[in-house]
Amino acid sequence: METSEKVMIACLLISEGGEEDAVREFISVLEEGISLGERDAVDLHAKLMRRMDGPLPDGPAGAVIRLMKAKRDHDAVRRRYGMAVEGLSKALSILSQPIKGDLSARIMVTRAMSAIGEVREAVGA
């Protein structure tokens, strides 16, 4: 589990009246369960994350959850952007290689188009 997710779950449950020690222990076993691939932990984690799209507590707890969600979105979009940049850089790098002949040019075309195709698949657009 990512740190931001643990923070979101803690903010939500404690703000809803959960006892701190219980929440702490719960997050710990949830994390262990997920790492062991236990179905109930995985499902509960997914449900809790979906819950973050619902109404949030007022005050700092809600503000922190919104902050963590914004960061999570940021990490995701940054990852996609990075993949797009990486793929296009690869294509550019292929295109700037010296050409030794027609066969070499043909191979470069294939490789460049393949790099471009990988971008589309990786970013999923």
Which residues in 86-105 contact another protein (CB under 8 A)? Answer: 87-89, 91-93, 95-99, 102-103, 105
Rounded Cα distance, 52 and 92, in Å: 41
**Closest approach of Cβ 76 to another protein, in Å?**
9
16-75: contacts with another protein (CB under 8 A): 16-30, 32-33, 36, 38-41, 44, 47-48, 51, 54-64, 66-68, 70-71, 73-74
Structure tokens at 92: 């550019």
Question: What is the H or E stretch that residue 10 is in?
Answer: helix 3-15
**Closest approach of Cβ 95 to another protein, in Å?**
5
**Closest approach of Cβ 37 to another protein, in Å?**
10
**Closest approach of Cβ 35 to another protein, in Å?**
9
Rounded Cα distance, 10 and 26, in Å: 9
Q: What is the dihedral of CA 25, 29, 34, 38, to 10 degrees?
A: -140
